[in-house]
Amino acid sequence: MKSNHYPKIGIRPIIDGRRKGIRESLEDTTMNMAKNVAKLYSENLFYPDGQPVECVIADTCIGGVKEAADCAEKFKLENVGLTVSVTPCWCYGSETIDMDPMIPKAIWGFNGTERPGAVYLAAALAAHNQKGLPTFGIYGRDVQDMGDPQIPADVKEKLLRFAKGGLAVALMKGKSYLAIGTVSMGIAGSIVDADFLQEYLGMRTEYVDCSEILRRVEQEIYDKDEYQKAFGWTKEKCVVNEGEDYNPEHLKRNREQKDKDWEFVVKMTMIMRDLMKGNPVLGKMGYGEEAMGHNAIAGGFQGQRQWTDFMPNGDFSEAILNSSFDWNGIRAPHIFATENDHLNGISMLFGNLLTNTAQIFADVRTYWSPDAIERVTGWKPEGLLVDGAIHLINSGSCTLDGTGKQSKDGKPAMKPFWEIDNSEVDKMLDATHWYPSSLEYFRGGGYSSKFLSEGGMPVTMCRLNIVKGIGPVLQIAEGVTVGLPDHVFNTIDKRTDKTWPSTFFVPRVTGKGRFKDVYSVMNYWGSNHGAISYGHIGADLISLASMLSIPVSMHNIDEDKIFRPASWAAFGPENDNADYRACAAYGPLYK
């Protein structure tokens, strides 16, 4: 997708409409305020392809309803997906506000005493609230002088937080979630809820039977030249790291069967990508319908069990698709859910759109208490592990970015693809082994990715759940990945499946409620799966959720970092309870 097709941020400079002295004295100051915000965004925010975010500024300052309407018309033509109104002065509230109910909106009212924009901010927010248009209010803590071009740090933080969430909302709208297959092993998250996707996210649901993969393999509906390139790369980078076959002797596949599995999973990876994104090469081959894909911004593969009982599993495909590279080089990750758990897939999508980084899909599998670790391994946990850890381990696949072999400021990281270099790709590949799948789980063969994530990465785990009577709710837990001594990990690793990828996660605890301790986080987690993003993005997730009217059921974010629309304050004094009431009152964005 070219950057000019991405949604843009609309900047609305709002001005006192009284002419013959007042408006004229404020024109330059107001327009410069808008330009400074646009500069902040273009220098700090990026689209999924790595290009700077584009802003559109109204042609004139907006002093009344006619100029507001002119601005709205321009924004429609320019594909504006969210708006920020800025003003250094008093203006006419309900005459100048953004009335589009379908896009996120914010107002920055300049904290100054000459012609206080804060007065307009309060009046305009009241108008939005009265009209049922949730709007984020931004008001700097310290008084500035009129004309001061600086954007204070606290204002920058809120401007960026709003824009990240607003862009995520706009980027999802009109896209699809592609379900390859149906329900995996009775997992509720893989019962794809088309109403949720449509009403809350503005997304379509597309369905493809798993047999479509087999059809395209057998009828060779894939780019054969790319396949030769992909298979050569796989032999050089992955087959060389094929792990030991731990299957019982009577189940082991012979070398010929294993080699055919490698060929098949490479083709399957290409086909899954083509199903999501399309591929013009297929059109040249005479497959015009297949060439278009399903316009999917995220997808998932059922796999278990109907497919994996007789065909190679999706572990290699899921791992490579979710990584920031493949045989074609470094590129943006595809968001692709194991077991077609669309709720975890969308949770991954939230993290990806907020950070532009690859996302870890994992089972929230085991809480290891310090006593249990010591009893099983003989090692007494210390440091970050003194309260134990949550073992995150997916059944055979994980983004290779999750190895932590990228580096930022000399520390393990997961970065946007445009910041990754080829040496880091080699390190990720070297750290990953591909084990012949456990045939008691995956009777059809295939290869599972295996690594242990580096400790010391700040991460945020989140998860969407759907609760009858409430609708979607979001859980958030910020924390850090931790390392284990080799002998400790090896002992723990053997107690589940030693061919699968592992991440050990310690959430930041608060001593109360859902975050009383590490055990409580595991105990209150609402599903068997979680989506893990690099960085502490819990506050960004909370802002995004409020834009979508999705309440947050648990989080460990400091109160002063929580940023929701101003009207949430009218729903009660306690932030989290008010969140539930506000989301219920406003309802889904696209209903």
State pLDDT tens for residues 44-73: 999 999 999 999 999 999 999 999 999 999
Q: Which CATH class is domain 3-172?
A: alpha beta
67 included as an active-site residue: no
Low-confidence winner among 15-24, 31-40, 53-62 (lowest mean pLDDT): 15-24
Output the pLDDT for position 113.
75
Q: How far is CA 517 from CA 386, 387, 405, 520, 557, in A?
A: 11, 7, 29, 5, 15
* Core vs surface per residue 158-169: b (16+ CB within 10 A) or e: bbebbbbbbbbb
261 included as an active-site residue: no
CA 565/CA 588 separation, integer angstroms = 15
The model's pLDDT over 439-485, given as tens digits with 9 standing for 90+, comes to 999 999 999 999 999 999 999 999 999 999 999 999 999 999 999 99
Q: Which residue out of 206, 326, 363, 540 is catalytically annotated?
A: 363
Q: Return the CATH number of 176-586, one of 2.60.40.10, 3.20.14.10, 3.40.50.150, 3.30.429.10.
A: 3.20.14.10
First CA to last CA distance, the chain:
28
Tracing tokens 């321009």 back to the chain, one arrives at: 74
Output the pLDDT for position 283.
98
Minimal CA–CA distance to 396: which of 458, 468, 459, 315? 315
pLDDT value at 2 more than 50: no
Q: Is the pTM of this model over 0.95?
A: yes
The model's pLDDT over 149-170, given as tens digits with 9 standing for 90+, comes to 899 999 999 999 999 999 999 9
Q: Which residue out of 199, 206, 326, 339 is catalytically annotated?
A: 339
pLDDT value at 4 more than 70: no
Look over the chain and give the mean of its residue pLDDT values, rounded to a whole number: 96
Tracing tokens 């001593």 back to the chain, one arrives at: 511
pLDDT value at 116 more than 90: no
The model's pLDDT over 229-275, given as tens digits with 9 standing for 90+, comes to 999 999 999 999 999 999 999 999 999 999 999 999 999 999 999 99
Q: What percent of the chain has pLDDT over 90?
A: 94
The model's pLDDT over 166-179, given as tens digits with 9 standing for 90+, comes to 999 999 999 999 99
Annotated binding site: 339, 363, 529
Output the pLDDT for position 3.
46
CA 102/CA 89 separation, integer angstroms = 27
For the chain, the domains span 3-172, 176-586
The bridge status of strand 136-138 relative to strand 176-180 is unpaired
> 547 phi and psi, to 5 degrees?
-65, -30
Annotated binding site for Mn(2+): 339, 363, 529
**Residues paired with residue 461 on neighbouring β-strands, in sequence order:** 477, 532
Q: How far is CA 549 from CA 69, 158, 336, 580, 589, in A?
A: 27, 19, 24, 9, 7
